[in-house]
Structure 1
Amino acid sequence: MTQNEMMRGPAGGRLSEAAREQAQQQLLDPQGPAANVIGFGLGVKWTDGRPTGQPAMLVFVTSKIPEAGLSRRDVVPGRLDDGTLTDVVAIGHVAAQQRVLSPPDMEVFVRVPDTVLERRPTELPPERPAPMEAEPQLLARRMRPCPAGFSIGNVAITAGTLGSVVYDFLPGATTDPPAPGLGAPPRYYVLSNNHVLAASNAAPIGSSIVQPGPFDGGVDPRDRVATLSRFIPIQFAPQVPLDRHNNVVDAAIGQCEFSDATREVYFNGPPRAWRRKANVAVGDRVRKVGRTTNATYGRIISVDATVDVNYGSAGVARFHDQIITTAMSAGGDSGSLVTSYDNVAIGLLFAGSSQATILNHIETVRSLLRVEIAELLA
């Protein structure tokens, strides 16, 4: 079995209920989580820097601490009570990736050499593709019609990324994609994160969305590209205790004119299909285009993940059923559409660190917002 095959997990894999319950109670205890633990998810076990191919629960920490420096309660067991293997993975401090006000501390990225991805993800430096030979703010300028991947944001925030143009389910369509050829859908929307288009629950419906985002010079009404239509509210701590959070997406849409934005993803072309959760697997290679780091490539290291995300002054939010990839983003990339190499939509990027990137399943985003991103599914 090749190293690629050993890194790949089963499509649609999930942790057992017993493993999830034990991790919630022992590792993310609301009275005091284990040292540095911020989440867990399904992945594969690594030994001596190589994947073994054995399914394991990955325990995500901000940084690794030698076992000798931990109290007994903070040591992650090698196996859970139901026999599930564990592996501790350092992913840094995870935060929502709206553009921050400090200068960027990452190069403009273009791609990740495939050879780098064969090494253990937890030991990789931030995955830095070759610097792009172009102006650093290539995707932070005004564009009409605007492709996905460019700067966008509610007038109340700094800047994020336009993920895609989506449209309402056609009449009679609820959970299944509409059949091709039924005519033009009635409304078009820009898709991005709640914290990009709805200011982390704070923006009123109907508020202006500008392209580029305010940080990049967008001004209302001159640069208005859409108005906020709907968003999925995020539960934050301390208002709601972390163990009661039911967050699964950070997503919002704003109605736009078809002539102002396009389904085309800059560099990549439009998404040709979307992938069901059941077909997303550890080891899948993915790519995205975002406002800050441009086109980057990565690999899924965990699915069915629970992770705590820092939203700054809004608080901390716990998300369930997430996808975690190797590092492929920075502040300002929030809202980017993540696809397979052949342009099948997989997830909506919303958070990350210098060591990992966090995605919502596109199937869940699509269902909760009641919009379509492509007529085919994979």
Structure 2
Amino acid sequence: MMNDLICIKERYQDSILKKENVVGVGVGFKKVKERKTDTLSVVVLVDKKLPLSALKEKDVVQKELDGVSTDVQEIGIVEALNTKVFQPRIEKWRPAPGGVSIGHYRGSSGTLGVAVTDRRLGERLILSNNHVLAYNGARIGDPVLQPGPFDGGKKQDEIAELYRFVPLSFMVDTPARGVASKAADVANVFFQMAGSQNRFIPVRVSNKENTVDAAVALPLMESSIKEEILDIGVLKGIKEAELGMVVEKSGRTTGHNRGHVDVVDCTLMVNYNYQRTALFSHQIVVRLASKGGDSGSLIVSEKSAVGLLFAGSERFSVCNPMDRVADTLHIEI
């Protein structure tokens, strides 16, 4: 059943994403008056639910797609970076656990996700997002600071060097008001990335879909990092996300909190610093609050990594599936 829904979702996702106010499309349980039902549906995520009378005919989402119900769900307006942080998490930690401030020396600050192992050489590495450790235009070997620069990190706070990252592809605009134009018009309804702060230098521009926003850094000394994540502990592996799964995260800005998986296999547009828009596929949407600086946090279920958080709103977080992150970066937890 799930595979059939994913096929239907993929068949219609391009046309759905062109509709005004639509942010993403995935698979999840249908909700009635904010209460989850047992009916699987194609979930259409919008900035704000509007009455049919306020929509143009071309922007109305069909009630069914190939016999499968659709469900339009409001994902909420995204807040700008918030200066309220958990003070201990922006201080210098040695050894540094997951859940504290980190960032590229020319960037801002995000979250140190977790210590991982390189599959090829067995090196211990630090996992976080591309836009936290590499800002998509860095050089391998660049300094990574803990705490990150936005939190006062200086040259003497270097903890690692950039080791590997997955370049991001950004969407190409078209004269005919393509998806990227629409995204620019309603930029403040998309997910603001943590730690961007005008530091992005895109190295790819295309309509290619992204699957991960991920990078790893090599510690200057292995003893400078800890295996555990603050308030969560030591992880024991990777687990695939399931609808309704209870998860938790530990981030630089909002600390430790819990939520549940709301949508899987989601294709959605993500705005990077309101300048570029990237299309991501196969993402996980979690009903769990996050704010600027939480990017790079691990989404965890029962001590197993489920995803890597990279975007979010007041009520939701979006993460890359952990198995895709691990396979793409050639790492193990």
Deviation of the 1:137 alpha carbon: 1.1
More strand by share: 2
Count of aligned pairs: 303
Deviation of the 1:368 alpha carbon: 0.3
Query: CA deviation digits over 1:268-321, x for unaligned, max 9?
Result: 11111211x3xx211000001000011010110000001111101551111000
1:195 and 2:131 correspond: yes
Deviation of the 1:204 alpha carbon: 1.1
1:69 and 2:49 correspond: no
Check whether the contact 1:305–1:323 (CA below 8 A) recurs between aligned residues: yes
Task: Report what 2:107 is aligned to.
Answer: 157
The verdict on how the C-alpha distance between 1:72 and 1:314 changes in structure 2, with shifts beyond 3 A counting, is closer
Q: Distance in 2 between matches of 1:51 and 1:239?
A: 37
1:315 and 2:304 correspond: no
Check whether the contact 1:153–1:211 (CA below 8 A) recurs between aligned residues: yes
1:103 and 2:83 correspond: yes
Q: Distance in 2 between matches of 1:52 and 1:147?
A: 39
Q: Distance in 1 between matches of 2:106 and 2:26?
A: 34
The verdict on how the C-alpha distance between 1:328 and 1:355 changes in structure 2, with shifts beyond 3 A counting, is closer
1:16 and 2:1 correspond: no
Deviation of the 1:15 alpha carbon: 3.1
Check whether the contact 2:116–2:331 (CA below 8 A) recurs between aligned residues: yes
Residue of structure 1 aligned with 2:148, choices 200, 207, 213: 213
Aligned-CA RMSD value: 2.1
- Unmatched tracts of structure 1, length 5 or more: 1-9, 109-135, 172-184, 374-378
1:53 and 2:3 correspond: no
The verdict on how the C-alpha distance between 1:313 and 1:155 changes in structure 2, with shifts beyond 3 A counting, is farther
Deviation of the 1:356 alpha carbon: 1.0
Q: Distance in 2 between matches of 1:238 and 1:367?
A: 27
TM-score (norm: length of structure 2): 0.86
Check whether the contact 2:9–2:27 (CA below 8 A) recurs between aligned residues: no
Q: Distance in 2 between matches of 1:160 and 1:14?
A: 37
Task: Report what 1:261 is aligned to.
Answer: 225
Q: Distance in 2 between matches of 1:268 and 1:16?
A: 32
SS at match of 2:26: strand
Identity across aligned pairs (percent)? 39
Superposed structure 1 runs of 4+ greater than 4 Å apart: 239-243
Check whether the contact 1:13–1:303 (CA below 8 A) recurs between aligned residues: no
TM-score (norm: length of structure 1): 0.76
